[in-house]
Chain A
C-alpha cells in the first residue's frame, strides 16, 4: 500500500488532468484505508487485570490483599510507576518486594498484575555501560538502545546442551593461571577476608580479557572468540564501585564490560535482583554462541540482602537467621553458568563469584554453601597479604576442579609442577626454622620455593599474557633464576617480562599461535632468555 502511494506521487505533477485527479483519489483512498485499519486495530477487547490493595508497607516489602491470580515471581504494578515482584503467595495475601522509590506509596494503594516476569535489556548495546538492577542506565550516557530483553529468573541449561570445560580463560595473574587455572564455563569462587585483594583478582581478569580481545581482534583471526564481561556490584560502597569503574576505564577495558550496580544504599530488593539481572545479560552471549565472564561481587552481601527480605516477609529463618532456601538462592544463580556444546552454539558463561569470610573461616554457612556449588576456589589469606605476598593466593586451600583440562599445552608443560613445589616449600619452610643443617634436596626445594613466591608477586591491574607467563615459568623451571638472589627475583621477573614483550617477541608469538612448546619454539625461547640473562644485572 505504501509502495502504491509512493509510485503515485509522480502523477500529481503529470500534465494530464485526468491522471492528476486519479492520483489524488487513489492517495485519498489509501489514506482513509490506513486510518480505518488503525481504528480497527484499536477497538480491541477489554483488558482483564487482577488487582489488590496494599495492606502493609515496610522496608521495601508490601503485603497486598487480593491479587488472587498472581503468578510466583510475576511483576506487579503499583501507582507512580513503581514495580514489585510477588515472592510470597499466601492464603490471604501476597508479599511483594518493591523496586525503586517506595516513598510515594501508601496503604490502600492499588496493585495490579502485569502477566509478565521481570525482564532486563540484553545485548552488545550494554557494553561500556553502568546499569542498575533492572537494566536502567546509571551513567548518564542516555538510553540503552537494545531491542532484546530476557527474563531475570531463568532455568539453567540442562544436561544435554552442556559440555565439559575445554577452553582456557586466562586471568593474567601468574599465581592463578599456573596453580588454579580457570576454563570457560567454569565457576571459580574467590574467597577471603575483607581487603585481601578479592575484587582486584576479578578486575584484573576482566582487564586481561579486554587485552586479549584487542589483541585477537587486531590479529584478524576468524576463529578468535572474545570474552565479554559483566561485573555485578552488590551491596558495595558507592566509592568502591566508582574506583572499580575508574580502574576499568583507565585500562581501556570498559568497552567490553557491563557493570550492574546495586550499591549498599540501594534497597534490598535491588541488591537481591542484581546478580540475576547480570546473569541474564551474560546468558545472552552464551546462548548466541559467544563467551562471557561474570563477576558477582559479592555473594555474602547478596545473601544478607535476601535474609533481610525474608525476615520482613516473615519466612521461617534457620542457621544464622538465613531462610531455608538460601542454598537455592546461589545454586540456581551459579548453575546458569555453563559451557554449551556445538549443537547449542558453543557459547559459555564463566562465573567468578566472590565471598567474604570472617577471620579466614571458610566453614561459615554461606561460604560452605557456595564452595559446594562452585568448581573450585581461590582462597586469599590475610597473613600472606600483610606479608606483602600479593596476590595472596593460598596454595593449600585453593583448587580448580576442572580448569586444568583447559590449560594450553605449552603452559601446562611449564606450570604442571609448580603447585606441588610451592606446597612443599610452605611445608618445609615451617619446620626448617628448627633445623640447623639441611640436606641438599631440602635446601634446593627451599631455594626454588622462595623464588617462586617472589616470581608470583604481581601488582594490581597488571595482567601478564599467557605466552609471556609461559616464558617466565620456563625460565624458572630451567634454573635461570637460581643464580639470582631471592630479593632480586621480582625485579628480574619484571625485566624478563619486558624483554620478552620486546626483543623476545618472536618466541612468544610462536607460543601464542601454536599453543605448544615444540623443539623449535623452545630453542628460540632458550636463546631469548639467555640473551636477557646476559643483560640483566
Chain B
C-alpha cells in the first residue's frame, strides 16, 4: 500500500522524543581550522525536546537576532523544520547567522539542563522590572524566557544583562596573527564559543537563584559571579566524552599536563582576550617550554581585588580539587594497566583505558559541578564571601553524602586552604568545622513555636513539588512567601518567643522585612526522601556611604538569613545568618564601597557614589579596558 504524503505515520501518534540533537562547535570554530583537532571540532548537543518557534524560541530561551550596529535583523531559524530535524540541525557554519542562533540555543539550553540536574529542581529567571513603576520592591513580573542576542555588540565582549534579562554577544574582526578566525582579519563571533555561551548563561542562572549576588558589597561578590560562571562552563566541557577521549589519549591520562583540557582551563574564555588571569593561576608554559602548574599562595587572595582575577583564584581551587579527585579515581586503573609500576609504556594508550579514564573524568566533573551548584542553596542571602561559599559546599555535600569515601570534601578544603580562601571565623579547617552550625551548636535556638510553623508549609510544598509550569511555580512561590511573611510578622509582634526567634533569624523584629525567596526540594536521605524548605529572609537599612561625611549620600545595607529546614521532622537544620545589626559588617561594606567608588579613571569622570548600584555590572567587568 502506498502511503500518501499527508497520512500519519503508521501506528498513529508517536510520542515526542526525550531529546533533540543539535550540532555545534565543541569549543569554538578555531579547532576546525587545524587538521589535528578537526575530528573533535564538532559535537552534537543533546537538549530536552520541546516544540520550538522560529528564533529559536522555547520555554526557557528566546533568540532574537538583531544586529544594531549593522542596522539589520537576521531571519530566525526554524529548528522544527523537518529537514533540520532529520540532520541534527544546521551544519556548523561561521558565515550563516542561523547556525549562530542554533548554537546559542543549544549551548544555553544544555547549560540550563545540566544546572537543573545538579540542583535537583527547576530554575527560574530573576523577575523583570516592577510592573508598577512606583513600587520598587514589586517582584511579581514573571519573565519566562531569557533573551539571547547573538550579534548585539560590535566588540570582543559578551555579557549578561540583569536589567534586560538578556545575553548580549559581540563579534569583532580578529587582529592580524590571531588564529581564531578562519581567515586572517576575519570575524570572530563570541556567539560561537561554547565557553562564552555557557559562562553567560550561568550568570543568568545564578542571578535567578540569588538576585542579591550582583550587588557588590564586598570584594568577593562580583568575583564570585565570575568564578561560578566559569566553573559551570568549564566543568560542562569535561562532560563531553568525545573531547575527553581525544585529550586523554593525547596526554596519556595525565590531566594536568598541557593538553587541550588543561588549555581549556588555562585559556578559558580566551576569545575576549581578557582571561589571562585564569591562565596564570592554573599554570603556563615556562621558559623551557614545559607546562608547569602554578604554585598557589594565600597572598594572592589578599592582594588581588579585580573581580576576574580574584574569581580566577576560586576557579583554580575548584579545578585543583577536580584533578585530585580524578587522580584518585583512576589510581587503581593505572595500577592495573601498568602492572603496578605506574609508568605507561611507549606508544599509544590502549583505547579501552582511554575510555575508562574518560568515563572517570566525566564522572568527576559531573560530581564537582553538582557540589558547586547544590552549595548555592546553602549560601547566605547577601554579602557572600569565598569562605562562606566553601562552607556551603561542604555542608551541602555532607547533607547529600554523609560518608565521603573518596574524600571529595577533603580535596575541596585542601585546595581552598592552599589559596587562603577560608572563612575568617572558623577555627580549624576540617570539613567538620566548616559545616554550618546546626541549631544544637548554634548560639541562638529557634523556639518550639517557630519550628512547629514548618508543618503549615507542607501543603505548599506538596503543591509546588508537583507543579510543572514554571509560571505557576513562580506565582506559587510568591504566595508562599507572603504566607510565611505574615505568620512571622504576627509572631514577632504578638508572641512571647517572637523576639528571640527574630534574633535567631538575624532580623530586627521592629523593622519590616521580606521573605526574599522560598523553594522546596526533595532530597534523598538514608531514611527515604526528605522534603526541604530553603528560604531567604532579608531586611535592609539605609546607611551613609561615608560615616565621616554627612554629605556623602546613602546606600542600602542588607542583612537576614538563609533557612534550611526539614519538613518531615520538622526541624530547622541550618540558619545562615547575616544580621542587619552587625556593625563590623556594615563598616566593611562602607569601606569597600568607598574604595571601589574612587578607584580607576572611570570614577573621576563617570562618578558612581554607590558601587553596589551600577546599572550593568557585568558589561563593565567584561570589557578589556586598556
Whether A and B are associated in the same complex: the answer reads no
